[in-house]
Amino acid sequence: MSSWPTETKYISHSTPRIDAPAKLTGKARYSSDIQADGWLYGMILRSKWPSAKILSVNLEKARQIPGIKAAVTVKDFPQTIRYYGEEIAAVAGATKAACLDALRVIEIKAEVRHEFVVNEDEARKDNSAQVWDGTTNASAPRVHEQGSVDTAFPECAAVIEGFYTTPVQLHHAMETSGSTTSWTDEGLTSWASTQGISSVRDGLAGALQLDHSKVRVITEYMGGGFGAKFGAGVEGVLAAKLSKEAKAPVRLMLTRFDQALAVGNRPSSFQKIKMGATADGTLHAFEAENYGTAGIGAGGDAGGGGGGADIPMPYLYKVPNTRVKQSMVAVNAGSARAFRAPGNPPASFGMESAMDDLAVKLGMDPLEFRLKNDPNPIRQREYKMGAEKFDWKQKYQKPGSSPGVLKTGIGCAAAAWPAGGASKSTQGEARINPDGGIEFRLGVQDIGTGTRTVIAVVAAEMLGLKPEQITVRVGDTNFPPGPGSGGSTTCASISPTVYDVCTQALRQLQTQSGLADARGENWFAACKKLGVNPLVVHGQWQPGLSDSHACGVQFAEVEVDTETGLVTVKKILGVHDCGLIINKITLESQINGGIIMGMGYALYEERVMDDLSGVVLNPNFETYKLPGIADVPEIEVVLINMPERGVIGIGEPSTVPTAGAIANAVANAIGARVSSLPITPAKILAALGKVPPFVNA
Amino acid sequence: MKAFRYATAHSTDSARELVAGTGAYLAGGNDLLGLLKDYLINAPEILVNIKSLPGLNKIERGDKFWTVGSLVTVAQIENHAEIKMVFPGLHEAASEVASQQIRNVATVGGNLAQHSRCWYFRHRDTVCLKKTGDLCYARNGENRYHSLFTGNTCISPVVSSLATIFTSLGATAIVLREGKETRMSMAELYHRAWENPLAHNSLNNGDLILRVEIPTTRGRSAYLQVSDKHAFDWALVSCAAAAEVRDGKLKSPRVALGSISPVPHQVEAANDFLDGKVLDDAAATHAADMILQDAQPLKHNAYKVPLAHALIRRTLLKLNGDA
Amino acid sequence: MKEPEPENFGAFSRRKFFKSLGTVAATAATAQVQSVAAELEKANAEQVVGPGAVAVTLKVNGEKLKLALEPRVTLLDALRNYSSLTGAKEGCDRATCGACTVLLGDAPVYACQKLAIESQGVEITTVEGLAKNKKLTKVQQAFLDKDALMCGYCTPGFLMSVTALLKINPRPNAADVKRACAGNICRCGTHPRILQAALKAAGVETASKTEVVNYV
């Protein structure tokens, strides 16, 4: 049975990111940097109407713009448009300017519909415009019951009711979606900005009716995904079609504007929660109703894929009597897609806010209340560890009791990432040269998480070499298949695979060379015995080296200016179980990143739709606000090392509890609950009763 | 952007001739290029680079007033050691503008003349009043960032931080209009936006801001703003105060608010009330009440009232010196 | 790939030139010659070019890039799409994210909101121009040591902002670094380490607050 070494030189230590020099010098070529010979610029024309029937599209004038080499439409006509920004046509040309000019002269004949709805509450009304003809916007509610909620509530010593809401959140990776795509006699090559080269290959092959063997996807470097970049996307297929027509490579990257409209989002949530506990602080009854929107991909038609609006409730707490009713509501907006821990950040926010509210009503310390009710022993330990490090007992005060205008408060929240685990079909190979050089090839992606470095670290450890001696190549469908980079499964998929490749390599080297142990100082001698031929070794994922299920708790300290409403996060402490830590320094970066993304969710991010025009009002970074360096607090991290569990994942658990912890800290500071994200100065002032009521003159 | 011709002007006469009604001046370019990229204004046929116009990029000290050329960058103001001492509020306002990358190229003239940031105006597919449409989408729509005061049907507020502080300092803009220098107070510079929904300010096509004269009468000044984020975020409300302080009493005080009205918002009666008063919390509070008295909050921006109130008090009390 | 349209190349405003010549005709001979030369120089400097492609020379990382660009081409577009300098990235094209930050002289600016044609005559530095002879600069090395990058897409922009900061302020404090980097966005969340890296490059060592605890 495979097992990780207990004494390690590299595993669980810190090796600098091996692709850092390429990224730091500008040598790294991302999908949007590829300059294939004779490449053309591609651009998409999108619908400016939220609801319409496109009858015909005339591309003639566009084709005549100097420099334009191809123009295609997306679908057959009539085409039903269901959201502002839906793709209609695309062009490819010698310059960006030519494409811009061409888009402006594409002629569209359309029946514009004035019935559309972009607001969840409006969409739920009986007289609302229908997003999908013939079906209600709201799906039939799914009800899940346990025990007897109706008799349980009267038995409670304290009951709270709240309405906790979260907005639609946008992935907004720094590199937009898209690809540089090119045809040769052998087929199609797509340098895609993707988290899943295999899913892109599959999508392109299907859409273009090509054999899989004729499609190659390459992702050497990509600028972030967070869940939005699986599959070829409309833009991937368009790039291929344009490239075919133009007989030249086409680079089609979405603009930042496009990103806010059409390539996925995290669904919103509207959680009505009623929760009660017995006098000793045991959760006893939980009733909740939640609705949210996944854009057009919800409601009567389940289309949209990968990002339904329902969330796990009552999240990670076990309550004996529950009734949970959830439905999704369709609106005329872009479809949701998986976004870092789908369903969990809103679930954690709602549940943890309710927990604090109930703790306050019971007169209990919210941390004690959690220790009493959280069933998981690892999280119990994490809370206790974190509380001590955070000085919880000393810092905790009754809500709103901090003196002065600048009020401080603390809060906590938990995460459970039930999925994770590994992709068992992961494979890898290594080419070992007689001069001792070794190159690993895995068809996995490094989306910024440090995947390449993990491979180098594991290989170095297993082979007794240094990480800088390991050449790592990833991101090519010509390589043995790897997992899509998602679900916090990548490290747990590739580490055992590299382990196996190394095991096979050593076995074969030892056999061929006659040396009993080919590792470390014997490596070069063993390799020399290969003669002139390289040794190519194949391996695959092995059980027993990885696990699933990751937990974590986070603590937040905030300062709220009760006159201006400005929220400043002073400190966040994350306590996360990490299984076997493969590479400490890149792991910490992942946790930092998750926390900062969670902070954005808590305080700044919100996709705003305009009811009257149906457009996305903030398709930019000006008014869709991301945390900046001036907003980021001191972040402290405790990594719970559990090597006996093997490799688990961290990408998602690290972003789940942050908003809940911050929201609780705010409530603790000001003595009032802001139950709607993002927590803006406007909402703080309203919660403090300082905002004059609006009088409709 | 649509295609345009391009030239660099070396005199204000040639600049005006080259622009000739169908062109636009290119200074820092932050606002202009953004407008062109989203097709928000009539596409200029020519862009005239005015950064080489002589004499417009100087900061000149004087006994009675200082002169800041319209091509002086916001970064130059921020880094000017003497301005920090003489007009601390101006230093503070300049420091808060956008990001350093923008401050390095943004000019005083451009900052004053910048177009509305209303997200309906800035959206390529909502044809609002300012774009000759017949509807203000914000009025009954998403108006969290919009005005508490307005004189017409457009509720987009002025967002120039420099306009706010210049208002409180009693500064004057000197504008070249059809070959002649015209003096405009900040109120006059924005008055047209108060009256006319199509206007962002009172400048005509071809007008060129040459410089701003800042009187030295008010030895103390301060500026504060609050945004959702801690940096690189438009102010929800900004406030500037300036006054002379003699024997502990305010002389010629002025308080102005930004981001809540198409013009920098001042209430004469509040300035008069503060004149001759000892600056304490009670006086500051009363002034704030007066300044916000006639506010007409919209559905989503009423939070700006208490926020502005707090900023007025804090900015005024800053005039008492660093506490 | 991008050829200028010959008939639009260097379009020149003849009307302007002759008009200004006419106003100095009445003066004395030598003065007239000088004035004509001055007027000619001024007229050349004020020549109207475009809208088609024009010769534009950019001095980037110590080398001259001779390009033919329409006036509407931004500096970022010129670097990424008309040369091989793809180090500066396009994150938003609206001067809000900083991924395109380059140095114009010593000043960090957003290349996406500058026209290439107005960026002539000044030294431009991109991320490719930092490391000399494959040796990372102090700032780059600090980013590497502190793991101040993840996907790396925002990294060139941050490198330029921090490099520019240290040039004018070799001993910045945390607040200085935050001001210098406020105009750069990172979605992966590398900010805490960028702060550490910038301070390290300035000679101030800070430690990550991370503890590894064994679960027993």
Q: What is the CATH number of the domain that holds B8?
A: 3.30.43.10
From the candidates B33, B121, B230, which should be mutated to test the interface with A, based on the most A CB atoms within 10 A? B230
Burial label for C207, CB within 10 Å (0-12, 13-18, 19+), is exposed
Residue C14: pLDDT band by 50, 70, 90 thresholds? Answer: very low
The reported pTM is: 0.95
Q: Which residues of A touch C184 (CB under 8 A)?
A: 628-629
In this structure, the answer to whether residues A373 and A286 fall within a common structural domain is yes
Instruction: State how far the alpha carbon of A649 is from the alpha carbons of A340, A494, A653, A659, in Å.
Output: 12, 11, 8, 20
C-alpha to C-alpha distance for B2 and A656, rounded to whole angstroms: 44
Residue B322 has pLDDT above 80, yes or no: no
Does the residue B252 lie in any domain? yes
Virtual torsion, Cα A215, A221, A224, A226, nearest 10 deg: 50
Residue A527 identity (one-letter amino acid): C
ipTM metric? 0.97
Give the model's pLDDT for residue C30: 54
Residue B230 has pLDDT above 50, yes or no: yes
C-alpha to C-alpha distance for A278 and A161, rounded to whole angstroms: 15
In this structure, the answer to whether residues A627 and A683 fall within a common structural domain is yes
In this structure, the answer to whether residues B32 and B85 fall within a common structural domain is no
C-alpha to C-alpha distance for B7 and B19, rounded to whole angstroms: 9
From the candidates B142, B293, B317, which should be mutated to test the interface with A, based on the most A CB atoms within 10 A? B142
User: Order of strands, edge to edge, in the sheet holding A470-474?
Assistant: A470-474, A438-442, A427-432, A535-540
Does the residue A188 lie in any domain? yes
Note whether A173 and C151 are within 8 A (CB).
Answer: yes
In this structure, the answer to whether residues B63 and B50 fall within a common structural domain is no
C-alpha to C-alpha distance for B44 and B42, rounded to whole angstroms: 6
A114 in contact with chain B, both atoms CB, cutoff 8 A? no
Biggest alpha carbon distance in chain B?
Answer: 61
In this structure, the answer to whether residues A39 and A26 fall within a common structural domain is no
In this structure, the answer to whether residues A107 and A202 fall within a common structural domain is yes
> pLDDT below 70 — which residues of chain A?
298-307, 419, 696-697
Residue C4: pLDDT band by 50, 70, 90 thresholds? Answer: very low
C-alpha to C-alpha distance for B243 and B251, rounded to whole angstroms: 6
Q: Which residues of A touch B124 (CB under 8 A)?
A: 48
- Is A381–C215 a contact, with Cβ atoms under 8 angstroms apart? yes
In this structure, the answer to whether residues A477 and A517 fall within a common structural domain is yes
- The residue whose two tokens read 């992702």 is A219
Nearest Cα of chain B lies from the Cα of C125 at a distance, in angstroms, of 14
Note whether A681 and A670 are within 8 A (CB).
Answer: no
C-alpha to C-alpha distance for A159 and A283, rounded to whole angstroms: 10
The helix (H) or strand (E) run that includes residue A416 is: strand A406-420
The partner residue sitting opposite B49, judged by closest CB among C42, C104, C118, is C118
Q: Which of A540, A563, A584 is a domain's end point?
A: A540
From the candidates C20, C113, C120, C179, which should be mutated to test the interface with B, based on the most B CB atoms within 10 A? C113
Residues 87-116 of C with CB under 8 A from B: 93-95, 98, 101, 104, 107-110, 113-115
In this structure, the answer to whether residues B90 and B4 fall within a common structural domain is no
Residue A253 identity (one-letter amino acid): M
What's the distance, Cα to Cα, between the start and end of chain B in Å? 50
List all residues 6 or more positions away from A127 whose beta carbon is below 8 Å from its beta carbon: none
Residue A131 identity (one-letter amino acid): V
**Nearest residue of A to residue C212, measured between CA atoms:** A639
Note whether A459 and A440 are within 8 A (CB).
Answer: yes
Give the model's pLDDT for residue B152: 87
In this structure, the answer to whether residues A277 and A397 fall within a common structural domain is yes
Does the residue A556 lie in any domain? yes
Residues A532-570 have pLDDT tens digits of 999 999 999 999 999 999 999 999 999 999 999 999 999
Of the candidates A535, A461, A546, A450, the residue with the CA atom closest to the CA atom of residue A497: A546
Does the residue B132 lie in any domain? no
Number of independent structural domains in chain B? 2
Residue A462, token pair as written in the block: 């297993």
Nearest Cα of chain A lies from the Cα of C71 at a distance, in angstroms, of 11
* CATH number 1.10.150.120 given to C138-201: yes
Number of independent structural domains in chain A? 3
Strands C101-104 and C123-125: antiparallel
The CATH number that domain C54-90+108-126 falls under is 3.10.20.30
Domain ranges, residue A39: 34-114+177-253
Residue C167: pLDDT band by 50, 70, 90 thresholds? Answer: very high
Nearest Cα of chain A lies from the Cα of B320 at a distance, in angstroms, of 20
The helix (H) or strand (E) run that includes residue A203 is: helix A197-208
Of the candidates A51, A50, A41, A461, the residue with the CA atom closest to the CA atom of residue A254: A41
Residue B205, token pair as written in the block: 């096509």
The partner residue sitting opposite B6, judged by closest CB among C94, C108, C117, is C117
- Is A630–B2 a contact, with Cβ atoms under 8 angstroms apart? no
Give the model's pLDDT for residue C34: 62
B233 in contact with chain C, both atoms CB, cutoff 8 A? no
C-alpha to C-alpha distance for A24 and C157, rounded to whole angstroms: 10
Does the residue A357 lie in any domain? yes
Of the candidates A600, A203, A665, A157, the residue with the CA atom closest to the CA atom of residue A409: A665
Residue A125, token pair as written in the block: 């009304």
Residue C26 has pLDDT above 60, yes or no: no
Note whether B89 and B5 are within 8 A (CB).
Answer: no
Could you tell me the CATH number of the domain that includes residue B219? Answer: 3.30.390.50
Residue C18: pLDDT band by 50, 70, 90 thresholds? Answer: very low
Give the model's pLDDT for residue A124: 95
C-alpha to C-alpha distance for C102 and C155, rounded to whole angstroms: 12
Give the model's pLDDT for residue A460: 98
Nearest Cα of chain A lies from the Cα of C154 at a distance, in angstroms, of 7
DSSP state of B259: S
Domain ranges, residue B177: 59-114+155-318
Residues B301-316 have pLDDT tens digits of 999 999 999 999 999 9
Does the residue B96 lie in any domain? yes
Q: Which residues of C touch B26 (CB under 8 A)?
A: 115, 118
SS3 B43: coil
Nearest Cα of chain C lies from the Cα of B119 at a distance, in angstroms, of 14
In this structure, the answer to whether residues A412 and A463 fall within a common structural domain is no
Note whether A648 and A548 are within 8 A (CB).
Answer: yes
Of the candidates C193, C178, B123, the residue with the CA atom closest to the CA atom of residue A618: B123
Residue C36: pLDDT band by 50, 70, 90 thresholds? Answer: low
Residue B215 has pLDDT above 90, yes or no: yes
Residues C72-102 have pLDDT tens digits of 999 999 999 999 999 999 999 999 999 999 9
Note whether A291 and A116 are within 8 A (CB).
Answer: no
Note whether C146 and C197 are within 8 A (CB).
Answer: yes
C-alpha to C-alpha distance for A340 and A601, rounded to whole angstroms: 12
Please provide residue C173's backbone torsions phi and psi, each rounded to the nearest 5 degrees: -100, 180
In this structure, the answer to whether residues A645 and A575 fall within a common structural domain is yes
Q: Taking the domains of chain C in order of start, what are their residue ranges?
A: 9-43, 54-90+108-126, 138-201
Residue A28, token pair as written in the block: 């790294």
Could you tell me the CATH number of the domain that includes residue A211? Answer: 3.30.365.10
C131 in contact with chain A, both atoms CB, cutoff 8 A? yes
Does the residue A128 lie in any domain? no
CA angle A321, A324, A329 (to 5 degrees): 175
- Is C108–B75 a contact, with Cβ atoms under 8 angstroms apart? no
C-alpha to C-alpha distance for A271 and A266, rounded to whole angstroms: 15
Tell me the β-bridge partners of A188. Answer: A183, A215
Burial label for C63, CB within 10 Å (0-12, 13-18, 19+), is exposed
Give the model's pLDDT for residue C11: 32
- Is C215–A253 a contact, with Cβ atoms under 8 angstroms apart? no
- Is A617–B119 a contact, with Cβ atoms under 8 angstroms apart? yes
- Is A639–C143 a contact, with Cβ atoms under 8 angstroms apart? no
Q: Within a 13 Å sphere around the CA of A553, how many CA atoms are in the beta-carbon half?
A: 25
Does the residue A333 lie in any domain? yes
Nearest Cα of chain C lies from the Cα of A201 at a distance, in angstroms, of 22
